């Protein structure tokens, strides 16, 4: 038995093209559904009624969870779950959930005002990272090397003028390397280490970091299992820092880019995702 699957996204990038072509190997018919033109709300909305499952890959940090909520309410298999997506869309909620579940995360302070910011930079040692609670792909993530420039940087946050954009986390800078794990279901299918390319301190694949494949060491696999226990089975990009005391979970992406990890590890991530969707359809 196959099934019809919609990739709900705002555009078709490298990952979506691979997913669209991967379905034939598992008997799935996979199509793109533009997340800007679904007009959901009616339980029988025509935009998704013909599909057996939807993969939510909206890059918008407002659309994903909202669309997943309505897709699930229409009794369509929705990956990831709206609960998981809502958690991943909000870095603070995610950190709180993981920490409450005993998953190690970086120290941080929530900043919603100048007073918060001033207190945060006295409680945590420089260098520090200032990042928006909502957002991804390394955008607006800023390295604060010293107190002299920190206050000037925060001027720009204040001048954005919207509470949605002003909510930030301040946390210690943990180096130029990070580890990304692509998890499908409960299994880590591809793992790579990313490092700043030397022209930008950030090590995000979307802005051109270098990367190499890593083996799935037991401590890392155990930690990924804890993350899945917290969020539920799904398709995740889990970003971690390696420290002298073990790994810390930095972020979990609900619609992960996987081009760099797939290229570094020579693993067909799209095929693994397609197989997982087929298994979930039964």
Q: What is the Cα–Cα distance from 88 to 90, expressed in whole angstroms?
A: 5
Q: What is the Cα–Cα distance from 93 to 63, expressed in whole angstroms?
A: 17
Task: Encode pLDDT of 90-126 as tens digits.
Answer: 999 999 999 999 999 999 999 999 999 999 999 999 9
- Shared domain check, 219 and 182: yes
What is the model's pLDDT at position 208? Answer: 58
What is the model's pLDDT at position 45? Answer: 86
Share of the chain above pLDDT 90, in %: 77
What is the model's pLDDT at position 150? Answer: 94
CATH number at residue 140: 3.30.1490.20
Phi, psi at residue 159, to the nearest 5°?
Answer: -75, -10
What is the model's pLDDT at position 44? Answer: 86
State how many domains the chain has: 3
User: What does the angle CA 62 – CA 191 – CA 32 come to, to the nearest 5 degrees?
Assistant: 40
- Shared domain check, 259 and 130: no
What is the model's pLDDT at position 163? Answer: 73
Q: Which long-range contacts (CB under 8 A, 24 or more apart) does 144-150 make?
A: 144/170, 147/121, 150/117, 150/121, 150/126
Specify the residue for token string 């073990």. Answer: 246
- Shared domain check, 204 and 92: yes
What is the model's pLDDT at position 112? Answer: 93
What is the model's pLDDT at position 200? Answer: 72
Structure tokens at 224: 């990924």
- Shared domain check, 134 and 251: no
Residues of the chain with pLDDT under 70: 1-2, 137-138, 161, 197-199, 201-209
User: What does the angle CA 132 – CA 137 – CA 142 come to, to the nearest 5 degrees?
Assistant: 45
Full residue range of the structural domain in which residue 27 is found: 4-80
- Shared domain check, 208 and 99: yes
DSSP letter string, 221-250: HHHHHHHHHHH-SEEEEEEEEEETTEEEEE
Q: What is the Cα–Cα distance from 268 to 194, expressed in whole angstroms?
A: 19
- Shared domain check, 181 and 252: yes
CATH number at residue 9: 3.40.50.20
What is the model's pLDDT at position 56? Answer: 97
- Shared domain check, 98 and 235: yes
- Shared domain check, 196 and 96: yes
- Shared domain check, 160 and 243: no
What is the model's pLDDT at position 206? Answer: 59
What is the model's pLDDT at position 205? Answer: 58
For residue 72, which of 94, 40, 30, 28 has the smallest C-alpha distance? 40
Strand partners, 252: 238
- Shared domain check, 139 and 113: yes
What is the model's pLDDT at position 210? Answer: 76
Does the model's pTM come out above 0.95? no
- Shared domain check, 247 and 122: no
CATH number at residue 232: 3.30.470.20
- Shared domain check, 138 and 224: no
């Amino acid at each position: 038995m196959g099934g019809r699957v919609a990739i709900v996204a705002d555009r078709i990038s490298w990952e979506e093209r691979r997913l669209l072509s991967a379905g034939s190997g598992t008997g799935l018919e996979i199509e793109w559904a533009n997340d800007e033109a679904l007009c959901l709300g009616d339980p029988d909305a025509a935009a998704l009624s013909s599909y057996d499952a939807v993969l939510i890959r909206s890059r918008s940090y407002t659309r994903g969870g909202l669309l997943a909520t309505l897709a699930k309410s229409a009794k369509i298999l929705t990956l990831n779950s709206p609960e998981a997506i809502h958690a991943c869309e909000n870095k603070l909620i995610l950190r709180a959930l993981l920490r409450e579940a005993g998953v190690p995360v970086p120290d941080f302070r929530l900043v919603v005002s100048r007073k918060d910011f001033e207190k945060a930079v006295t409680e945590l040692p420089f260098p520090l990272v200032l990042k928006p609670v909502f957002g991804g792909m390394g955008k607006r993530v800023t390295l604060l090397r010293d107190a002299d420039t920190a206050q000037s940087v925060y001027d720009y946050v204040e001048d954005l003028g919207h509470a949605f954009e002003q909510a930030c986390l301040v946390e210690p800078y943990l180096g130029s390397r990070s580890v990304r794990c692509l998890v499908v279901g409960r299994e880590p299918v591809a793992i790579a280490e990313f490092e700043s390319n030397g022209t930008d301190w950030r090590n995000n694949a979307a802005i051109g970091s270098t990367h190499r494949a890593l083996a799935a060491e037991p401590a890392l696999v155990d930690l990924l299992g804890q993350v899945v226990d917290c969020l539920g089975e799904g398709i995740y990009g889990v970003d971690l820092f390696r420290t002298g005391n073990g790994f810390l979970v930095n972020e979990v992406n609900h619609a992960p880019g996987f081009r760099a990890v797939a290229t570094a590890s020579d693993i067909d991530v799209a095929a693994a995702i397609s197989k997982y969707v087929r298994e979930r359809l039964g």
